[in-house]
Amino acid sequence: MKIVLQKVSKADIDVVDETSGDIDQSFKPQHIDTGYVLLVGVSDEDGQEQIDWLASKIAKLRVFEDENGKMNLSLDQVGGEILSVSQFTLFGDVRRGNRPSFVNAGKPEHAKRIWLELNQALRDQGITVKEGRFGSHMRISLTNDGPITILFDTDDLMSKHC
């Protein structure tokens, strides 16, 4: 799994009707104030071990400032929320040519299940998680705070963890 985590002071997401370009009224727009936007890419090799590891790391990540201005507080300590967006394009391979190949991205059924299970694992840690809509065209606006952006790649991290 690949996750781009951005610490935000606010974020919004709307789903776009791809035929008209208008906001899809059937999707309730999502909004968070302090927290993280997670862009989540899933491969077919991802499973429960990756979900558990990432949920724990993200929940305990200390990138919010304490009273001394040090990055020492976690999401739950500041009352933050997560806006989670499935994004297969994180697996875009551009080593050859100029058009990305997405062959390493997870099959849609598997990717959706893993993404939803990751979101639930974060909720199980007491975090409010709001979601985009899997497989849809979305517009995301955010204010990156810091800026703080962290990349999680379970291919790299799990090998060091084990």
Longest CA–CA separation in the chain, Å: 50
Residue-by-residue DSSP string for 55-110: HHHHHH-EEEE-TTS-EEEETGGGT-EEEEEE-GGGG-B-SSSSSPB-TTSPPHHH
Of residues 64, 88, 91, 152, which has the active-site annotation? 88
128 catalytic per annotation: no
89 catalytic per annotation: yes
Of residues 6, 30, 50, 87, which has the active-site annotation? 87
Residue owning tokens 């060091």? 160
What's the Rg (C-alpha) of the chain?
A: 16
Of residues 89, 102, 120, 149, which has the active-site annotation? 89
88 catalytic per annotation: yes
Q: Which residues are catalytic?
A: 87-89
